[in-house]
Amino acid sequence: MSDGQQHSGHERVPSRQRRRFPEISSRAYEHPADRSALVALRRLTGFDTVFKALSGLLPERSLRLLFLSDSVRVSDQQFSHLHDMLRDACHILDLEKVPPMYVSQDPQPNAMCVGLDEPVIVVTTGLVELLDEEEMRAVVGHEVGHALSGHSVYRTILLFLTSLAVRVAWIPLGNLAVMAIVTALREWFRKSELSADRAGLLVGQDLKASMRGLMKIAGGNHLHEMNVDAFLAQAEEYEAGGDLRDSVLKILNVLPRSHPFTTVRAAELQKWATSRDFQRIMDGHYPRRGEDGDASVRDSFRESASHYASHVKNSRDPLMKLVGDIAGGAGDLSDRVRRGFGGSAGPAAGSRAGSAPKDGSSDSSGEQD
């Protein structure tokens, strides 16, 4: 725990009592999109075959030796403040075995949880130098959340397949098969980051620190130049702005990424932190691991479907609004698509000449929720 002294340039804030969650199941904080994306991934043709093959082929021992030989293992003797945070995070989320943690020399702020048999947490020096005590605590909790959810297995396979795709790029069909699985894994992993952000908040129990950390990852160590409300307003603008062309560009921009955009993560975490679900967890009402075997798969599907339906219904993104219109059987769809892409739409076929639009406004404008 923190002791109020200076340590390696970090302010050691006094330790404070944090709520603990005995036997908490990862279902308590997992984002519905995380679960549904993982189900979709497992249903991908060929995924089970690839997963079983790679489970026996991945050089996990080599990976551990690499960290051991070329990184600094966190302990009571090395990066002790990180070791305290790691033990605290495991205690709060009731993770029985504390995973090994390493600090790797890399100026890029990053952290990951990898491993097939046992999870290993790695943080870069760029991240350690960027974040303060409480911000870093949220990140450590984020990675412990990955470990508790079992995400490290799929993350390891994603890293391996991404490297493999580069090596087999000259084989047309082979590359297509690998990239199909890589794309599906990336989609799942982006959603899993939203779950791990929630775990980080449960560990740090300081929403402001979580927000500061995300802002620093986006804009560097210039907090005096940044504002949480303005940062969240960027997420609102990103969600609602533009026309259908922008919606398509958003999809293309995010496809090669392993993480969601930072403003989107901040907005999602803010929304969850003010939800009844979060408050119930903080009050001690949450699913236990002992109940995982009795959890209904059908209920998980229903929850995921409900989440996506609500997202489409309430989204101000033009593409999501169009999807909602298609699902609702909206008329004049071709006219709406043309206007959404910025084209001028003439009178619809069969309409009366000189008739005015029903609402007199472009459909690319956002509606109030």
Query: Catalytic amino acids?
Result: 143
Beta bridge partner(s), residue 288: 24
Of 120, 191, 113, 187, give the one whose Cα is nearest residue 155. Answer: 113
Residue with tokens 């799929």: 154
Residue 195 CA to residue 101 CA, distance in Å, equals 20
Residue in this structure with the two tokens 């691991």, named with its chain if needed: 289
- Asked whether 157 and 135 are in contact (CB, 8 A), the reply is no
**Is the separation of the CB atoms in 139 and 200 below 8 Å?**
yes
Largest CA distance in the chain: 81
- In order, the DSSP letters of 95-132 are -SSPPPEEEE--SS--EEEE-SSS-EEEEEHHHHHH--
Token readout for 196 is: 């791990």
Residue 291 CA to residue 287 CA, distance in Å, equals 7
- DSSP annotation of 260 reads -
Phi/psi region, residue 242 (left: phi>0; alpha: psi -120 to 50; beta: rest), is left
DSSP string spanning 316-365? Answer: --HHHHHHHHHHTT-S-HHHHHHHHTT----PPTTPPTTPPPSSSS-TTS
Question: What order do you get walking across the sheet with 120-124 strand by strand?
Answer: 72-73, 101-104, 120-124, 111-114
CA distance 342 to 244: 8
Quote the tokens at residue 323. Answer: 């999807």
Q: Cβ(114)–Cβ(59) under 8 Å?
A: no
Q: What is the DSSP string of 205-230?
A: --HHHHHHHHHHHHH-S-GGG--HHH
